[in-house]
Structure 1
Amino acid sequence: MRDPALAPDPTPDMHGGLADTVFDTAARNPTLPVLARRTDDALAAWRQVTAVELRDEVVDLAKGLVACGISPGHRVAVMARTRYEWTVFGHALWTVGAEIVAIHPNASREQVEWILRDAGCVAVLVEDEQGVMTVGTLCARLPRLRHVWQLDTDALPQLVERGAIVPLTTVESLRRIVLPDSTAVIAYTSGTSGRPLGCALSHRSLAYPCDTLLAGWAHTAAPPGEQASVLAFLPFSHVYGLMIQVLCLRGGILLGHEPEMTDAALASALRSFRPTYFCAVPSLFEKLYKNFLRAAQQGGRGALFERAAQTARDFAAAEERRRLGAGPGPGLDLRLQHALYERTVYRRLRATLGGRVVRGSSGGSSLSRELSLFFEGIGIYVNDGYGLTESGGGITMQPLGREKSGTVGQALPGTRIQVAEDGEVLVRGPSVFQGYVSDEAATRAALSGGWLATGDLGRLDSEGYLTITGRKKDIIVTSGGKSVAPAALEQRLRMHPLVHQALVVGDDRPCVGALITLDPDFLAYWRSSPALQGNAPGREAREENALREEIARAVAAANSAVSRSESIRVHRVLPAPFDTSNGLLTPSMKLRRDAITRHYAAEIEAMYQARSDTLRRPPQQEPADWDDPDSVFR
C-alpha cells in the first residue's frame, strides 16, 4: 500500500445521540432560527422555526411514537421527499432510540418490499396515497410491520394527539439511554448492480464528519455576521442529503426544504429562500452551467458568456497556482477582464441561486476540474468532497486556503486514507459504518482490520490530495485486453451542452463505445437556431447532419483526454434519458450500469454491428483497425 494521507487531530468525542442536538440548542439558544418552513407556495413565503419550537414538536411526536409502541432498537422506515416533516419525524425517532430506515419515495414495489423485510421494519411513514398503496400490497408478507402512517392525511398531528397522555419524563429517559454507537440509520446503497445493502450507521458515524466540517469550515458558509443557511433538496434517503440535514442542525445553520427537484421549483425556492451555501451533486452543477449558456445564447449573448466563462476559469486557475505556491496569481489584464465580467455577467449568474451564496459543496461523484474552476471564477467556490454510504458521508474536504480543483481534497481530521496497490481507496475512521444488515459475508468483504474497502479507484499525491478515477466494478476490458475507466470519458461528454447523460460500454468488444442521451431543454433551443430553419424536408436533413456533427465534437473532446486505445470509437444517441422511473438511475442520480446495458442490449449490439459492416473487414482483423469514430442515431 502507498503512504496514507495525513490528517490532523480529530474533534472532541460525542456523548449522546443525534436528537440531543435539538435539546441542547433549545437550552442554549432557544430563539435561534433552525428550520424554515414553506407557508405559501404561491407567495414563496417562509416561516422560521426556532430551536425551542422544534424541540417541542420533536417531544410531542416522540410521545406519540411511544404511545404506538415504538421503543429503542425498533426500525421505522421513512419514505418521503425532502420536506420539513421528514426532519422533525426523524429526530423524534432518534429521541426514543428508534432507528431510521430511509427509503426513496420513488423506489419500486420490489425495492420497498426488500428493504422493509431486510431491515425488519415495524412501521413506515409514507408521504401520500401512492405510498400507502405500495406498502399496503405488501403488508400480508411483512408480519413485523404494524403501522403505516401517511403524512398527507395528518398522520403527525394524530400521533401528537395520541401521545398527549405520555409523560415527558418517559421521553427524556429514552433519549438519555441512546449512546453514540447506537444505530441511528439503516441507509441502503444505491444498488447500481444487484440488491441494495443496508448500511448500519451509528449516531457517531453521522455526527463525526459533520462536527469535523463545522469545526474547520463553518465560518465560510456565510458572510461575516450572518447566519448561514442551506436549502435541502437532495433526497434524505441518500447519505449525502441526510448529512446535510444533520450538519445544519448541529451547526445552527438555517435549513429549508424543497421537495421538488424540477428546474422551476428549485429556481423559485432558491430565489425566495436565498441560501448562503449551496449543496448539490455534479449533474446539477453541470445543468446550471448549461442553463447559463442557453439563457445567454437565447438573449444573443452567447459569445459574451463563453468569453466570460473562459475568463472565470483562467482567473480561478491563476488564483489556485498562487495559493499553492506555484505562481504569482492573476495578472493585471486578467484582473481587469474579470472585474468587467463581474459587473456584467458573474453577479447575474449568482443571482439565479438567490444572490447570497458564497460557497458550495459537491458530492455523490466527482466534479470536473473545468466546472470547479468556472464556479470559483464567478465567485462561488465549490468544495468537491468525497464520501460514501458506508462512511456516513464525509471522508475528505478541500483544506482552506489550499484548495485544489480536480481533486476531492484531503482526509478529514481523524480519518485516514490509503490507496492499495490495485488503486482501490481504503478508509479508516470514526465515521465508518457498523456493517451490512443481515449480510455478514458482505461486511467481512468490505471491512478488514478496521479499513473500509470503498470500491472506488483513486490516487494520492505527495500532499495527500485524493483524486477519484472511477469504480473498480465499472472498469471496462475490451476484447483486446485494454482496461478503460469510463468515468473521465463520461464526465467530459456531459460537458457538451447537448449531452445530458453518457454511459461508456465496451466489455469484450473490439473498442470503446458510448450510449448518449440529449438534454431536452438545450435540444429544443438548438433546434430553433436560424441555421436550421427552412422548408420541412430540407430542415430535417440539415438538423440530423448538424446533430451528428455536434455529438461528434463532444466525442472528440472527450477522446482528447485519453489515449487512442481508450477513446470512444462508436456511439449511439438514445431517444429518451435514463431515469429513476424506468429503473436506469439510482435515487442519487447514478447510472445503473447493468440495468442500462441489459435494457439497451439490442442497441449496443446494433451499434457495434453497424461499425463492423462499415469497416467491411474480415473476422480475423485486429481491433487496432477500429480507428475512426462512428456515430449511430436511433
Structure 2
Amino acid sequence: MSNLADGNNIPQRLQNRAKINGSKPAIYWNENDSWNSLTWSEYHDNVCKFGGALLGLGFEAGDAVSISGNNSKEWIIACVGSMYIRALPAGIYQTSTSDQFQYVANHMEAKVLVLEDKVQWDKFESERNGLSTVKKVVMIKDIDKIDDEIAISFEDFLESGKIHVSAANERMKEIKTDDLALLIYTSGTTGPPKGVMLSHHNLAWTVEGASEVVGGLGPDDRHVAYLPLSHIAEQMFCIHGSISFGFAVWVCSAFDQIKEHLLEARPTLFLAVPRVWEKFKAALEARLSEASGIKAKIVKWSRKQGLNGGYKMIETGKGGVRWKIANKLFFSKLQDGLGLDKLKFAVTAAAPIGKDVLEFFLSCGIIIHEVYGLSESSGPLTFNSSKPGHRKLTTVGQSFPGVEVKIAEDGEILGKGGNIFQGYYKNEEATNKALVDGWLHSGDIGEIDENGFLKITDRKKDLIITAGGKNVSPSNIEKIMKSIKGVSQFVVIGDKRKMLTGLVTLDPEGAVNMAKENNWPTDIPSLAESDGMISYINSEVERLNKDLAKFETIKRIKILHEDFDVEHGTLTPSMKIKRKPINERYASQIETLYEN
C-alpha cells in the first residue's frame, strides 16, 4: 500500500496529509539545545497563515517571494506558504554576496523577502535602492536589531495572516498542474544564476516516480535536512517528498551540527553530496586505524565480508552468512556510532563520487545509491533503485520512472519526461539552448551500458583540450586522485597546456593524522610545504598514473595551504568545485607548475 498523499500538487497533498496524520510530528528543530516539533496539522496551519499574510499584502498569482537563510522550519513554511496561494518562491543561498542577493531578488521582482538574520538584512539594506519591488521584509531572527517599518518578525507576519486563512484555502483550490510552482536559481559555476521554472506537475510527478525506486516510505521514516534548501535535491527530500509520503524532517541549520543531528534523529533516509561522504570516510579511516590486536583483525575480516557481501546485496538483496556475522560484529556498531543504524536508503548526488568512497562504505555495510539529475529535471534523471538488480556501483543508475535518457552524437546526455522544467525565467535564449524538441540538454557527457546504466564522463564545458589536441576528462582523473589518503580535493589543470598538472588540498583530519604518525608538521600550511608530504603525494600520483592513458597522466602537483570552500567562492553551496574561481585564485601557483 502506498503512503502517497492524494492530490496533484504539493499544497493539496499537505492539506490531505494534515487530515491523515495531523497529530504526527512533521518537522523537528533544535533550539537552545532542546528539540521541538511541529505536527502536520500545525505545519498546515502555519502554511495557511503565511499564505494568508501574503494575500493581506495584495499578492496575486505569480507574485514573488525570496527566501535567504539557513535551513529552518520558517524557510519551509515560507516556501510552501507561497506555493499554497499560487505565489512564486525561490531561495537565495545564504552565502551569496550582496550583489548576488540583489540579482536574484531583482530578477524575480520579489515583493516579500524572508531573511534569516541581520547578516541577510544588511545585504538587503546595502542594495535597497535597487530593490524597488520589495514591500515587506520578514525576519526569522534579529527583528530587535532592526528599526524599519518595512521589517516584521516571522511570528507577527503569521499572526497577520490569520484573518485570511479561508481566502488562502480558496486560492489553493485554483492551482492548476501546469502553474509555475517555484524557481530554483542555479548556483552558477559560470555566469549569473538562472531561474529554473518548475511547475506543480513537475514536483508531484517526480515524487510519484520516487515511490517506485525507493519504495515503502511513510510516516515512520526520518530525514535530516542539512543541505541548502535553495538546492533542488534537499527540497525534493525535505519539502515535496516529506509532504507526499508523510516522513518527518529533522532540520539542521548548520553543517557542523550534522554529526549530532544524525545521532539524535537516526534517519532512515540520508542524502549527502560526495564531499560529505568523503569527510565521513576520512574520519572513520582515522578511527579504524587505531584498532589493534584482535579488534584490528575483526575490523579487517568484517570489511572484507562487507565488500564481498555488499556486491551480492546490490545484485540479489542478500549478503550471505558471513555478511550477517560481520554485521553483528562490526557494521552495526559502526553505524550506531554514526547515527546511521536505522538507515534504509543512502543517496549521493550533485557531483562525481570515487569508487574508493563507495567501496569503503560498502565494506562498512552501507550501500550508497548514486543519483544523477539537475535542477532542470526537478532532481533525478537516473536513479540507482533500492531494488536488487536495479543498482550498479560506479554508475548513476537507470532512467528514472517515466523518463527517457539518451546520448547525443557528441556524447551529451539528453532527458525527456514529466520532470523536465518549463524553461529559464525571463531567459528565452538559454531556454532554447537547453530545451530542444522537448529534450533537456544536460551539458554532461556520458555513456549508457547494455543494461541501461548511465555513467557520467564529465561536464561538457569542463573537458580539457591540451596543447597537443587531446581531449581530457578532468573529473575522471580527479576521482582517481582523490582516493589518495590525506587528500581532500584534487583539480586537474591543463587546458591549452602541454601537460596536465594538479592542485591538491589536504584533508584536515586524515592528513594531520598522517603527519602525527610520520613526525611531519601538523599545521596545514607547513604540512603542505613539508618534504615528507610532498614526496608521499608525488609517489601516490605516480602509482595512480599507471592506470591512466599517457596523455591523462599528471606530471606535477602543487599542494595548497588551504582547502576549497564556499566562502572563497571555490565551491558551490552544494560543494561542487568551481573551476574558473579556482584558476583565478591560484593563478600564481598554477604558473609555477609550468615553469622550466
Tell me whether 1:372 sits opposite 2:358 in the alignment: yes
In the alignment, structure 1 residue 410 sits paired with structure 2 residue 398: yes
Instruction: Return closer, same or farther for 1:261/1:558 CA change in 2, 3 Å cut-off.
Output: farther
CA contact (8 A) 2:349 2:371 kept: yes
The equivalent of 2:150 in structure 1 is: none
Letter in 1 for 2:99: E
Query: Partner residue of 2:279?
Result: 287
User: Aligned runs of 1:189-588 on 2, under 5 Å?
Assistant: 189-219=186-216, 227-245=220-238, 246-262=240-256, 265-298=257-290, 305=299, 308-320=302-314, 335-336=321-322, 338-339=323-324, 341-354=326-339, 355-399=341-385, 400-402=387-389, 403-529=391-517, 531-532=518-519, 544-588=530-574
Residue 33 of structure 1: how far off its partner (Å):
2.5
- Alpha-carbon distance between aligned partners in 1 of 2:520 and 2:412, rounded to the nearest angstrom: 51
Could you tell me which runs of 5 or more consecutive residues in structure 1 were left unpaired when the two chains were aligned. Answer: 1-10, 324-328, 614-634
Once the two structures are superposed, what CA deviation does each residue of 1:415-437 show, in whole Å capped at 9, x if it has no partner?
10010111100000111111111
Superposed displacement of residue 275, structure 1: 1.0
SS class of match (1:122) = strand
Shift of 1:585: 1.0
After TM superposition, give the deviation of residue 177 of structure 1 in Å: 1.1
Quote the residue 2:73 is aligned against. 84
How far apart in 1 are the matches of 2:494 and 2:233?
Answer: 31
CA distance in 2: counterparts of 1:500 and 1:247, whole angstroms: 32
Q: Partner residue of 1:7?
A: none
Tell me: CA distance 1:430–1:229, structure 2 relative to 1, closer, same or farther (3 Å). Answer: same
Q: Give the structure-2-normalised TM-score.
A: 0.91
Q: Give the Cα separation in 1 of the matches to 2:583 and 2:296.
A: 36
Residue 160 of structure 1, aligned match among 140, 158, 175: 158
Task: Work out which of the residue numbers 16, 23, 28 in structure 1 matches 2:15.
Answer: 23
Give the residue type in structure 2 aligned to 1:72.
Answer: A
Checking the alignment, whether the CA contact within 8 Å between 1:243 and 1:393 is kept in structure 2 is: yes
Deviations 1:596-634 (A, max 9, x none): 11221111111111xxx3xxxxxxxxxxxxxxxxxxxxx
Shift of 1:389: 0.9
Determine the C-alpha separation between the residues in 1 that align with 2:8 and 2:254: 34
CA distance in 1, matches of 2:394, 2:520: 40
1:591 deviates by 1.0
Letter in 1 for 2:221: A
Contact 1:406–1:467 under 8 Å retained in 2:
yes
Amino acid at match of 1:475: L
Distance in 2 (alpha carbons) for counterparts of 1:49 and 1:330: 39
| Residues 305, 576 of structure 1: alpha-carbon distance in 2 compared, 3 angstrom cutoff | farther
Name which structure has the greater RCO, CA cutoff 8 Å, separation 6+: 1
* Residue identity matched to 1:505: I
Q: Aligned to 2:215, what secondary structure does the other structure show?
A: helix
Deviations 1:416-468 (A, max 9, x none): 00101111000001111111112111110111000000001111111211111
Q: Is the 8 A contact 1:499 1:518 kept in 2?
A: yes
Contact persistence 1:489–1:558 (CA under 8 A)? no
CA offset at residue 302 of structure 1? 7.0
Q: Report the CA distance between 1:15 and its aligned residue.
A: 6.0
Percent of aligned pairs sharing the same letter: 26
Q: Match for 2:84: what amino acid? A: T
CA 1:30–1:165 in structure 2 vs 1: closer, same or farther (change >3 Å)? Answer: closer
Q: Distance in 2 between matches of 1:19 and 1:298?
A: 51
AA at the equivalent of 2:251? H
Which one of 87, 90, 109 corresponds to residue 98 of structure 1?
87
What secondary structure, in the 3-state scheme, does the structure 2 residue paired with 1:343 have?
helix
Deviation digits for residues 196-222 of structure 1, max 9, x if unmatched? 111111122222222211244231x58
Alignment CA distance shift 1:280-1:190 (3 Å)? same
Q: Give secondary structure in 2 for the equivalent of 1:433.
A: coil
3-state SS in 2 of match to 1:500: strand
Residue of 553, 577, 592 corresponding to 1:591: 577
* 1:552-573 alpha-carbon deviations (Å, 9 max, x no partner): 2442354344212111111111
Structure-2 change in CA distance of 1:314 and 1:56 (3 Å):
same
Partners of 2:483 and 2:380 in 1: CA distance: 26
Residue identity opposite 1:281 in structure 2 = V
CA contact (8 A) 1:46 1:273 kept: no
Secondary structure at the residue paired with 1:481? coil
| Aligned equivalents of 2:113, 2:297: Cα separation in 1 | 53
* Structure 1 range deviating more: 456-465 or 66-75: 66-75
- SS where residue 141 of structure 2 aligns? helix
- Provide closer, same or farther for how the CA distance between residues 76 and 378 of structure 1 changes in structure 2, counting only shifts above 3 A: same
C-alpha displacement at 1:515, in angstroms? Answer: 0.6
What is the CA–CA distance in structure 2 between the aligned matches of 1:102 and 1:312, rounded to whole Å? 40
Do 1:366 and 1:408's aligned partners in 2 also have CA atoms closer than 8 Å?
A: no
Matched pairs, number: 576
Supply the distance in 1 between the matched residues of 2:471 and 2:5 (Cα, whole angstroms): 44
By how many angstroms is 1:101 displaced? 1.4
Does 115-124 or 297-306 show the bigger shift? 297-306
Runs of 4+ more than 3 Å apart = 11-17, 298-311, 318-323, 338-341, 540-543
Distance change in 2, residues 1:54/1:557 (3 Å): farther
Is the contact between residue 192 and residue 592 of structure 1 (CA under 8 Å) also seen in structure 2?
yes
SS of match in other structure, 1:149: strand
Q: 1:140 to 1:433 in 2, by over 3 A?
A: same
**Equivalent position to 1:111, from 63, 75, 100:** 100
Shift of residue 144 of structure 1? 1.3
Aligned residues of 1:489 and 1:559 also touching (Cα < 8 A): no
8 Å CA contact retained: 1:187, 1:199: yes
The one-letter amino acid of 2:110's match is C
CA distance in 2, matches of 1:569, 1:200: 44
Contact 2:22 2:39 in 1 (8 A): yes
Please report how far the alpha carbon of residue 49 of structure 1 lies from its aligned counterpart in structure 2 after TM superposition.
2.5
Take 1:114 and 1:14, find their aligned partners in 2: how far apart are those partners?
Answer: 37
CA contact (8 A) 2:349 2:370 kept: yes
